[in-house]
Amino acid sequence: MPKPQLHNFQSSFTTESGVEIQQPQIAHRSWGELNEAKDNVVFICHALTGNTDADVWFGGLIGPGKALDPDKHFIICPNILGSCYGTTGPTSINPKTGKTWQADFPEITIRDIVRFNQKLLDDLKITEIELVIGGSLGGMTALEFAIMDERVQKAALFAMGKSHTPWAIGISEAQRMAIYADEFWNDGFYDEEHPPKKGLAAARAMAMITYRTPENYQQKFGREIHSKNEIYQVESYLNYQGDKLVHRFDANAYITLTKAMDSHDVSRDRGSFDSVLSGLTKPVLIVGFDSDKLYPIEEQRELAELIPHSQLAEIKSPYGHDAFLIEFDQLNVELTKFSHSLTEAK
């Protein structure tokens, strides 16, 4: 797997909370070639524990003849601010102290993530973004991007809504509480050799339940017992997923990014939802999944009612919230229809 490119910014970055981050950097990967006008850009926004490897986790959408075609587009996917895959976050060195930020890393918002991405686009001298696309946290980022940046020509938003609901915030807080309860948490200033693995694993297990559905778990696991572990198959699965995450992600980054998701509210300091979203006049594709329990399809229907030039695609899937990372055949169809409808309208 190719390593992401690291881009060092020449100027500092100040968060909405007023904290200055000195010597920030951003990691990104790209596919295809940037044209001379620098306006053939597809910008992918990743989800909570995602990274720059969009060709892996979004691979069903990327490739010749697919909705995101590197033969036509310059496709770019940066690691977001606050994460731990090369972009400045809690695991980065704070130049002011010479130590890792850890829990001193400032609270950030979705709008901070967008503004940080804009710095990269400005440095690359991007003049136009043909499409910004993402699901879950990535969809929240893509929506704010479409509102905040005139370069965005159209957007595709999967499996999210106009703001983070109390239901979703509560689920995030329960996961954070699991991390806080870990004996090695130490208020976020943990020994890097002994991070709060049990707490992060428990948080991931909670999340994995919300990403699917009761019906999917029944079909996938039933009440089967794991042959080696002598526990239920579903228990073995959740233990595996938790262990897998603690080897690739940071607990402080998980705290930072779930709080950023909680900040999602396009009406904040702007007016009503109706006034904000009715002003979003660029074409928007909104995709919801009928089995999503975390961001129910009513949220996507509401977005479609509020955004004037939007198209709503309701996809049937047994996979719940995870469907935006699974149902690539249906997503390719919807993205292609969206693109063709805009071409015909011209």
Per-residue pLDDT tens over the stretch 173-210: 999 999 999 999 999 999 999 999 999 999 999 999 99
Out of 30, 136, 172, 291, which one is annotated catalytic? 136
Structure pTM?
0.96
Q: What is the CATH number of domain 5-164+265-345?
A: 3.40.50.1820
* 228, pLDDT greater than 90: no
Residues 322-344 have a mean pLDDT of 91
Which fold does the domain 168-261 belong to in CATH? Rna Polymerase Sigma Factor; Chain: A (1.10.1740)
pLDDT the model gives residue 166: 98
Rounded alpha-carbon distances, angstroms, from residue 184 to 194, 200, 251, 288: 7, 11, 11, 39
Residues 317-339 have a mean pLDDT of 97
Question: 227 falls in which pLDDT band (50, 70, 90)?
Answer: confident
Going by C-beta distance under 8 Å and a sequence separation of 6 or more, which residues neighbour residue 251? 179, 182, 185, 188, 190, 195, 196, 199, 200
Out of 236, 317, 321, 322, which one is annotated catalytic? 321
Q: Where in the chain is the domain with CATH 3.40.50.1820?
A: 5-164+265-345
Q: Where in the chain is the domain with CATH 1.10.1740.110?
A: 168-261
Question: 345 falls in which pLDDT band (50, 70, 90)?
Answer: low
Per-residue pLDDT tens over the stretch 119-173: 999 999 999 999 999 999 999 999 999 999 999 999 999 999 999 999 999 999 9
* 301, pLDDT greater than 60: yes
Helix (H) or strand (E) holding 173: helix 166-180
Higher pLDDT, 254 or 2: 254
pLDDT the model gives residue 340: 79
For residue 224, give the amino acid letter: E
Q: Say whether 267 is catalytic.
A: no
Residue 216 exposed, middle or buried by CB count within 10 Å (0-12, 13-18, 19+): middle
Residues 277-296 have a mean pLDDT of 98
How far apart, in whole angstroms, are the C-alpha atoms of residue 258 and residue 180? Answer: 14
Out of 55, 250, 262, 292, which one is annotated catalytic? 292
Rounded alpha-carbon distances, angstroms, from residue 305 to 140, 273, 298, 316: 17, 11, 11, 20
* Structure tokens, 293: 């329990």
* 324, pLDDT greater than 60: yes
For residue 230, give the amino acid letter: E
Q: Say whether 136 is catalytic.
A: yes
How far apart, in whole angstroms, are the C-alpha atoms of residue 2 and residue 311? Answer: 35
pLDDT the model gives residue 344: 62
pLDDT the model gives residue 2: 87
Express as a percent the part of the chain with pLDDT over 70. 99
Residues 324-339 have a mean pLDDT of 97
Helix (H) or strand (E) holding 240: helix 233-246
How far apart, in whole angstroms, are the C-alpha atoms of residue 289 and residue 298? Answer: 10
Q: What is the mean pLDDT of the chain?
A: 96
Residues 281-289 have a mean pLDDT of 97
What is the rounded end-to-end Cα distance, in angstroms, of the chain? 39
Q: Say whether 292 is catalytic.
A: yes
pLDDT the model gives residue 343: 63
* 5, pLDDT greater than 80: yes
pLDDT the model gives residue 1: 76
Per-residue pLDDT tens over the stretch 67-126: 999 999 999 999 999 999 999 999 999 999 999 999 999 999 999 999 999 999 999 999
How far apart, in whole angstroms, are the C-alpha atoms of residue 200 and residue 117? Answer: 27
Query: In this structure, what DSSP letter does residue 293 have?
Result: S
Express as a percent the part of the chain with pLDDT over 90. 95
Is 30 within 8 Å of 77 (Cβ atoms)? Answer: yes
